[in-house]
Amino acid sequence: MNEREVGELRRRFRPDKTSVTRIRGCYVNEKKEIVSEFSQALGLMTEDEQEKMLTLLKKALSGSLGKNLIDLSFSTAQVQDSPEHRLLTALRDGEEEAVHRFFETVKEALTLEGSYLILLAQDAYDVPFRGKDGAELGDGSETVFRYVLCSICPVRLAKPALTYSVTAGELHNRASDWLVSPPETGFLFPAFDNRGTNLYGALLYSRDAGNSREDLVEAVFHTRVPMAALEQRETFHTLLADALEEECSFDTVQAVQGRLCAMIQEHKESKAPEPLTVTKGTVKGVLASCGVSPEHVEAFGSRYDESFGADTDLSPRNLVDPRLLEVKTPDVTVRVSPERSDLVETRVLGGVKYILIRADEGVELNGVDIRIGD
């Protein structure tokens, strides 16, 4: 799925836009016991309750693609006949027995500290026609996209506090109460690819980009989990250091990250709907253009195959942070805006290694303006 498709579904989760009529769910306590199940009509809630409920669901379609939103794929054999795909399809169709089985499956598999709420919403979206300019045409729809959206939300005990009643002009004690937090994880099934149904895919949500929710994916989807975004970045950094060896200098790494950041910026300015990805060949080309020797470029390619897989495409956003240039030693950390990376360099003076920072003006020490002498 791309950003436009995710955004199109997100916009449906507003009281004035949604066609969701009922929310199903269950409450799981800290002992992994299902305490209660419920099925609540959205139309019987107040407008404020509707908005809060839809916000919890919509949150499972938020974040960055490739980081918080991860594409999952099913094999042909799974789609044709497998317990996991049959369960998800029945869940989408709102079958009662499938809903109960799903709750039990999640309860047994999910590792989530404390109590939590599982929320389910089934929807049928009449996908409107779009003109060549992307504008929606209101005279019909191309297809109906039937899907289920799941949000799994921690339930935490709020601390007692004093509250002030404006009408009474008095302070009152507010007792501790259980509050539903934004979801830690969730998913959409099936995927909404090319503005249509893709039974070979699903979209996983994880609030923590470093946690790819292998427990949930293994139990519900029985498919391979892509490497988490933070793990991709750490692996990429290790590959650079190990493959480039003595060529892994400040200038080289800075140049490589600069090229990848430039790709991210160009993609952002192009407003292309498809997520930006790079192949192994693209990254090898970047290394070569930054002056890395052919033998070290090939060494990187071999290590890439071992770590990511030869045919795996990666998102540059998972490999570099375009907002930060950070230089670290065991005792010192220097953070610089990438636009001013020219202020930092490394040198060896008298056999001692130094990180040099050009300081023209405006130097402070613990908030005190200081002067640097000639």
Q: Tens digit of pLDDT for each residue in 119-168? A: 999 999 999 887 655 566 655 567 899 999 999 999 998 888 787 778 88
**Lookup: tokens for 77:** 């054999």
Positive or negative, the CA dihedral 315, 316, 318, 322 is negative
Buried b (16+ CB within 10 A) or exposed e, 107-117: bebbebeebbb
Cβ(168)–Cβ(105) under 8 Å? no
- The whole-number pLDDT of residue 172 equals 79
Q: Tens digit of pLDDT for each residue in 96-113? A: 999 999 999 999 999 999
Cβ(156)–Cβ(114) under 8 Å? yes
> Would you say residue 209 has pLDDT above 70?
yes
HSE toward the beta carbon, residue 138, CA cutoff 13 A: 0
Tell which residue, 47, 190, 32, 60, has the closest CA to residue 119.
Answer: 60
3-class state of residue 155 by DSSP: strand
Q: Could you give the CA distance from residue 97 to residue 101 in angstroms, rounded to a whole number?
A: 6
Residue with tokens 């670290």: 328
- The whole-number pLDDT of residue 140 equals 59
Confidence of residue 230 (pLDDT cuts 50, 70, 90): confident
Burial class (CB in 10 A: 0-12, 13-18, 19+), 15: middle
3-class state of residue 43 by DSSP: helix
Q: Could you give the CA distance from residue 213 to residue 70 in angstroms, rounded to a whole number?
A: 10
- The whole-number pLDDT of residue 130 equals 72
Q: Could you give the CA distance from residue 8 to residue 367 in angstroms, rounded to a whole number?
A: 47
Q: Could you give the CA distance from residue 307 to residue 283 in angstroms, rounded to a whole number?
A: 14
Tell me the percentage of the chain whose pLDDT exceeds 70: 97
Residues 4-13, mean pLDDT to the nearest whole number:
93
Q: Tens digit of pLDDT for each residue in 262-271? A: 999 999 898 8
Mean pLDDT (the chain, rounded): 90
3-class state of residue 216 by DSSP: helix
Please tell me which residue, 10 or 174, carries the higher pLDDT value.
10
- The whole-number pLDDT of residue 229 equals 86
Cβ-based neighbour number of residue 122 at 10 Å:
18
Q: Tens digit of pLDDT for each residue in 12-67? A: 999 888 999 999 999 999 999 999 999 999 989 999 999 999 999 999 999 988 88
Parse the chain into domains and list their residue ranges. Answer: 3-220, 227-322, 324-374
> Would you say residue 372 has pLDDT above 90?
no
3-class state of residue 287 by DSSP: helix
